[in-house]
Amino acid sequence: MPPEPTPVVLTTGCSSGIGRATARRFLAAGWRVWATSRNPADVAELARESCRTAALDVTDAEQVDRVVDAVVERDDRIDCLVNNAGFGQAGAVEEVPVDRLRAQFEVNVFGPVRLVQAVLPHMRAAESGAIVNVSSLLGRVVYPTSGAYAGSKHALEALSDALRMEVAGFGVDVVLVEPGAVRTGFDDRLRETQGSVHERPVYERLRRVVDVAQRLSERTAVSPDRVADVVYEAAVSTDPEARYVVGWDARVAVLADRLLPARATEWLYERLV
């Protein structure tokens, strides 16, 4: 009996953090890993660890097609797609320039859709596959000054839910992974984006309150390896959940969102503005 073929995973945003940890998690499990990043130098270390690597900007449709074609041509299969590439930005809705909001959706929403549309025909032909979309706690809940990022993740979750039903009969699973705070420096980079918005003094008090809450959340942040473990578990499960919440803060926030009336949180934020 011939040996089972090595399963193949294509993952985006592998320059650091969750993406890099995910590539290593699949590699440790014996998968053929394609680790991608906008800058090939950022995944050079993964290449030395036996990952196949490629430059991939998820906003470039032609590059998406080239990378997917290269994976199929070389390895003849794609068993799992991990859509991890993304970025965040902070700012009240009034403060975020429309071109910055457009860029947010281009990477966090349209990028994953491009990958899904390129990969899905191969999975459908094989009658198997897993698509794991890395979302966020903010794909379920939202707080002030997070509208642009949370909006993109809410959109990704809606698309994932529709896709899950659409491909259920083709042997393809669609899963969302929703981390809370992760020790990747993401929140620090989020704060840095405030310089790219038109900050208005009327939101300054609210900004300070949100920043304090974020710093408290960071104390319970999980490691990128923990998120990578969940991504891998979701990918290999024969009956995966639709959503995997990762982190204590994320679980509490999701529970509070279920139990607390929307008016209660709105009342609180109104008192802070």
Q: Determine the pLDDT at residue 250.
A: 81
Residues 251/181, Cβ–Cβ less than 8 Å: no
pLDDT band at 7 (very low <50, low <70, confident <90, very high): very high
Which of 106-110, 216-220, 249-253, 255-259 comes out lowest in average pLDDT?
A: 255-259
Q: Which CATH class is domain 8-272?
A: alpha beta
- Give how far Cα 200 sits from Cα of 91, 143, 209, Å: 10, 18, 15
- Asked if residue 120 has pLDDT above 90, the reply is yes
- Asked if residue 59 has pLDDT above 70, the reply is yes
Average pLDDT over residues 10-24: 97
Q: Which helix (H) or strand (E) holds 83?
A: strand 80-83
Residue of higher predicted confidence among 52 and 214: 52
Give the active site residue among 143, 149, 232, 244: 149
Residues 157/149, Cβ–Cβ less than 8 Å: no
The CA dihedral of 73, 116, 222, 89, to the nearest 10 degrees, is: 120
Average pLDDT over residues 230-249: 94
Which of 157-161, 177-181, 238-242, 262-266 comes out lowest in average pLDDT?
A: 262-266
Is there a catalytic annotation at residue 232? no
For residue 33, give the nearest of 44, 22, 42 by alpha carbon: 22
The CA dihedral of 88, 89, 93, 99, to the nearest 10 degrees, is: -90
Q: What span, in angstroms and rounded, lies between the C-alpha atoms of 117 and 86?
A: 18
In DSSP terms, 176 is beta-bridged to 133, 243
Is the Cα dihedral 99, 100, 102, 103 positive or negative? positive
Q: What is the DSSP string of 145-203?
A: T-HHHHHHHHHHHHHHHHHHHHHGGGTEEEEEEEE-SBSSSHHHHHHHGGGGS---GGG
